[in-house]
Structure 1
Amino acid sequence: MKKLQIFLIAIYVFLSFNGFSQTTRIPLSEKSVVKDSTGLVYTYENWSSLIKTGEYKLVKSKMGNDEYLIIGRENVNDNENKQIYRGNSANFVGKKIKFPYMTDLQGRDYWNDILKDKVVVLNFWFVKCAPCKAEIPLLNELYWKYSERENVVFLAVCLDNGGMISEFMKTTPFVYKQVPSGIEIARKFNIAGYPTNLIIDKGVVKYGTTGFTKANIQKAEEILNQCL
């Protein structure tokens, strides 16, 4: 009987320790690799901030011992946008969208009632994205050509926080109104690649492109002119 008790205690200790090990395997350090479903690698600051909101969870990836997938918990209020956005910016064209609430680095707020009657030039990017950086000079030129138009709004949704954007712009100015920590906004738009550029006229997407080529920006300007 005593041997049986010792055996049961040993099993309990083993299972408890194993459960503890499984729990502590959830990454709590900058060394862990966390990606979303598109393969985009999130910084420690980005993914840890999202986890704290309670709207995201991490699941173990099959790709490595310290690699995880971040998954957003579905929000019923996002259904209207999710039925429009399919991860390919070309699929946006002709669709009517609803803008989420956004705040730029200067504290200015933007939401659907503010933007629905405007022509919105919308960019999605992140600091370590090489093609994002390559297109910035051309985007700046586009901004300066049309920035005095009261009905045109240039917004850049960046995945990184305000500090990282400000540091980046010490060497590479980007004159769009910058919306920091935009992972949640990009998720609502189901952005699948970077950079992504959209032109939205009175709530309807007129142009969408993912990736950088000069031809893309030239086409964006052509479409912008048609909207004015």
Structure 2
Amino acid sequence: MKRLKFFLIAVYIFLGSAGFSQTTRIPLSEKSLVKDSAGLVYTYENWSSLVKTGEYKLVKSKTGTDEYLIIGRESATDNDNQKIYGNSSGNFVGKKIKFPYMTDLQGRDYWNDILKNKIVVLNFWFVKCPPCKAEIPLLNELYWKYKEEDKVVFIAVCLDNVGTISEFMKTTPFIYPQIPSGRDIAMKFNVVAYPTNLIIDKGVVKYGTTGFSKKNIEKAETVLKECL
């Protein structure tokens, strides 16, 4: 009789807790708050498009509210990435480069004399490039980690004009300093595929990668640490 009593109590507790969970659960929707690990808030259009790439997923926040964290899934292998984007990134490594004159959206100027002794984290992208957009959260994380380092300069060269970039930034935060209308600059670096990311230390390319892969950004950070 005691066993039956305990069993009925256990069933009651389980059903009660299940009912509570069901009534308090908030489904993921356009009103859900989605952030990346740097705390940047993503619009519904932005986070849903990233999730559709298969490279990102949403994890429920521990705050107990309708809040989620967008994180990267395991990315494509280097072999898969090469089939899509080729191996042009390998042609960069070891080369000495001279930085052209560049001006970002805030009117800040960059040229060889001020960059030649820096560690430059350089990104090439354009607005309608899905893999470029997919890697933005990872690049934002990298920026936040090292933006206080005096030796490190982050620059993103975008092929699009000021108006297109500004409109894009309204819904998609990309916090690298942005160089607009950068097609000529990309040509000077022999960039033929996007996104391309370079780590340049004192004018020498230490790491170059083309195409989106979480491993690419992780490797870039490893090389960046080695340069510091």
Range of TM-score over shorter length: 0.5 to 0.7
Measured after TM superposition, the shift of residue 151 of structure 1 is: 1.0
Please say if 1:223 is aligned against 2:228.
no
Q: Which residue of 2 aligns with 1:202?
A: 202
SS in 2 for 1:194: coil
In 2, the alpha carbon distance for the partners of 1:202 and 1:163 equals 33
In 2, the alpha carbon distance for the partners of 1:138 and 1:131 equals 12
> For 1:1-228, what aligned pairs fall within 5 Å after superposition?
88-228=88-228
In 1, the alpha carbon distance for the partners of 2:146 and 2:126 equals 24
In 1, the alpha carbon distance for the partners of 2:219 and 2:184 equals 28
In 1, the alpha carbon distance for the partners of 2:208 and 2:139 equals 14
Q: Which residue of 2 aligns with 1:18?
A: none
In 2, the alpha carbon distance for the partners of 1:192 and 1:89 equals 9
Which digits, 9 at most, give the CA deviation of each residue in 1:146-186, with x for residues without a partner?
A: 00011100000000011111110111100000000001101
One-letter code of the match for 1:158? Answer: C
Measured after TM superposition, the shift of residue 200 of structure 1 is: 0.1
SS in 2 for 1:209: strand
SS in 2 for 1:171: coil
Give TM-score scaled by structure 1 length.
0.61
In 1, the alpha carbon distance for the partners of 2:227 and 2:174 equals 23
RMSD over aligned Cα atoms: 0.9
One-letter code of the match for 1:115? Answer: L
One-letter code of the match for 1:136? Answer: I
Which digits, 9 at most, give the CA deviation of each residue in 1:107-163, with x for residues without a partner?
A: 111010010000000000000000000000000000000000111000000000111
Measured after TM superposition, the shift of residue 187 of structure 1 is: 1.1
Measured after TM superposition, the shift of residue 104 of structure 1 is: 0.3
5+ residue gaps in structure 2?
1-86
In 1, the alpha carbon distance for the partners of 2:88 and 2:216 equals 15
Question: Mean alpha-carbon deviation: is it higher for 88-97 or for 130-139?
Answer: 88-97
Percent of residue pairs identical: 80
Moved over 6 A (4+): none
SS in 1 for 2:135: helix
Measured after TM superposition, the shift of residue 91 of structure 1 is: 1.1
Which digits, 9 at most, give the CA deviation of each residue in 1:72-91, with x for residues without a partner?
A: xxxxxxxxxxxxxxx92211
In 2, the alpha carbon distance for the partners of 1:156 and 1:89 equals 16
5+ residue gaps in structure 1?
1-86
SS in 2 for 1:145: helix
